[in-house]
Amino acid sequence: MIRDTSAQDQTLSVAGTPAPWKRWLWPGLAALVVLLAIGFAARAWLGASRSFDSARVRIAEVKRGDLVRDIAADGRVIAANSPVLYAISAGTVNLKVVAGDVVKKGQELAVIDSPELRSKLAQEQATLAGLEAEASRATLDATLARAKARKETDQAAIERQAADRDLQRYQRGFDGGAVPQIDLAKANDTLKKADIQLANAQTDARLQSQGADLDARNKHLLAERQKAVVAEVQRQVDALTLRAPFDGQVGQVQATQHTNVIANAPILGVVDLSRFEIEIKVPESFARDLAIGIPA
């Protein structure tokens, strides 16, 4: 009889087959942990800023200012204020300076002799003297008119007082039977006549005073008008003397000594050496960057 291996076998208890999700539990947990680690690392990397060496970093305060650009261009410096003086009237010019002289403000540069303008000034001054005399005469006439009117008013007032006293005397005589009624009526008429004369004298005095004052005022206004004319002609005569408007230097002299010049003719120029301008030719490419008021 051949023996089998049954005597060598040992019966074991066989466990049940595990569920499929239990087989993937630990691998899934491991994968989740790995993904979370990668997410935290990526988040820290995205939120971090670039780092530099502190020795290479310069820190300064930010301030608001102008942006400066350099423009290379050819140009020249010229005087900003160099007016030309003109003759206000025709005449003979007498130059007091020559080109290149240094002058001070108010210094005489040239004198123009204009007989026509000086004669006009003398005529206007004579007219002004006549009008001022007439104005003074009108003022005196107004004073005399007021005095005469006041005299007539006082005379009328005195006559009225006399008529009033006569009326009172006749009234007492009439009351006593010594004066007839007709004399009393005449005295009453005389008083009324005196009242009318006094009222007329007062009205005449007021009107004469107003008329005299108006006439004097008109004369004074004419004198004031003529005074303005004389002041204007005097200004023109004073302008015949050309003076330096500021401290500077005489530029080009355009008139010849002791020659006749016409009105508004250029005489000479004065240059202000304290103020200058820059005259440059800027390339067209920089034209849009320039504006009025940019310092140079």
**Of 117, 123, 88, 116, which is closest to residue 226 (Cα–Cα)?**
123
Residue type, 38: I
- Classify the C-alpha dihedral 181-182-183-184 as positive or negative: positive
Which pairs from 51-58 meet CB under 8 Å and 24+ separation? Answer: none
| pLDDT confidence band for 41 (50 / 70 / 90) | confident
Look up residue 246 and give its two tokens: 């500021």
The per-residue pLDDT for 160 is 83
The angle subtended at Cα 156 by Cα 216 and Cα 194, nearest 5°, is 135
Q: Residue 277: CB partners within 8 Å, gap ≥ 6?
A: 77, 78, 79, 80
Res 73 pLDDT > 90: no
The per-residue pLDDT for 227 is 92
The per-residue pLDDT for 4 is 61
The domain defined by 75-114+244-296 folds into: OB fold (Dihydrolipoamide Acetyltransferase, E2P) (2.40.50)
Kindly state the average pLDDT of the residues 215-227: 90
Tens of pLDDT, residues 235-282: 999 999 999 999 999 988 999 898 999 988 999 999 998 888 888 888
| DSSP tag of 250 | E
**Of 146, 144, 137, which is closest to residue 218 (Cα–Cα)?**
137
Tens of pLDDT, residues 116-153: 888 999 999 999 999 999 888 888 888 888 888 888 88
Tens of pLDDT, residues 87-113: 988 899 999 999 989 999 999 999 999
Sequence ranges of the domains in the chain: 75-114+244-296, 115-239
The angle subtended at Cα 28 by Cα 22 and Cα 34, nearest 5°, is 155
Residue with tokens 């005589």: 173
